[in-house]
Amino acid sequence: MSPEIAEFLLLAPLGLAVGAYGTLVGAGGGSLLVPALLILLPNESPATITAMSLAVVFFNAYSGTIAYVRMGRVNYRIATLFTLASLPGAVVGVLLVHEVPRAIFEPVFGVLLLTVGLTLVVNPLGARRGQEPSGASGLSPKVLSLVGCVGSAYIAVLASLLGIGGGIIHVPFLIRGLRIPPHSATATSHFVLTFIALTGTICHVALGQFEGGVAQTMYLAVGVMMGAPLGAALSTRLHGSIIVRLLAIALCLVAVRLFLHVIW
């Protein structure tokens, strides 16, 4: 067996799993992909791995968004609003990556992500004890729109700093902050993620961080583009609280990765 076929047989199933899981929880799967690729491709630099991951997130989000649009689950107005709010932040984050002191940023953000992740595991939909979660937040739609735009812009900066698409931060923000139901939040997040990941990938290409790993990215892309529709189909069968708990696991994994990065 040639090395290329062996690599394809290794990376395409990984892409399939990441695509299904990422689309199910409304994230691109970069939070799982980066640590997996650091182990599987030890010869590639972390910058190349991050660039590869973001490109794969784009293919995942693109495929997942098409599946969600076909299911009628994307709210185009909210998705357009938050995409426009997020794009400049994604570029600023890429520019800031080498400027921010990682020794301070990573543990602080790790604690924050771990706290949010554990909170979502315990209380995924933000319902009070003995009450069903309500869709209404008590705030007017205009205030929610403003909060959503400003919040999405900051999330894009943070996600770029972490080298991920940002779905794992954006989806909890949509669900708990703006009280958007999980099934709509994941679909809307995926739409936003398509454009953020594309912008981030273009930035990485322009900065010359995508010189290696093109073939591996394509192998993974084949997998995620097959896995994303599976994740979208699976999500319709799951309760919103289960989707949020699965997302919380990804949040906790990113937090652990940040802690490990500080230690090593």
C-alpha span between 239 and 232 (Å, rounded): 13
According to the binding rule CB under 8 A, does residue 172 interact with another protein? no
Conformational region of residue 45, where left means phi above 0, alpha means psi within -120 to 50, and beta covers everything else = beta
Q: Which is nearer to another protein, 178 or 230 (CB)?
A: 178
Residue 135 lies near another protein (rule: CB under 8 A): yes
Task: Classify 135 as helix, strand or coil.
Answer: coil
Amino acid making up residue 164:
I
Question: Does residue 104 interact with another protein by CB under 8 A?
Answer: no
In total, the chain counts a number of residues equal to 264
**177-202 burial string, b = 16+ CB within 10 Å, else e?**
ebbbebbbbbbbbbbbbbbbbbbbbb
How far is it, in rounded angstroms, from Cα 107 to Cα 129? Answer: 32
Binding to another protein, residues 173-212 (CB under 8 A):
178-184, 187
Name which of 39 and 98 has its Cβ closer to another protein: 98
- Exactly one of 1, 43, 99, 138 binds another protein (CB under 8 A); that residue is 99
Residue type, 15: G
With CB under 8 A as the contact rule, which of the stretches 29-37, 113-121, 232-240, 249-257 interacts with another protein?
A: 232-240
Distance CA 79, CA 174 (A): 11
Q: Does 96 sit near another protein (CB under 8 A)?
A: yes
- Does 142 interact with another protein (rule: CB under 8 A)? yes
- The residues binding another protein (CB under 8 A) are 69, 72-81, 84-85, 88-89, 92-93, 95-96, 99-100, 125, 132-136, 141-142, 144-146, 148-154, 156-157, 178-184, 187, 236, 238-241
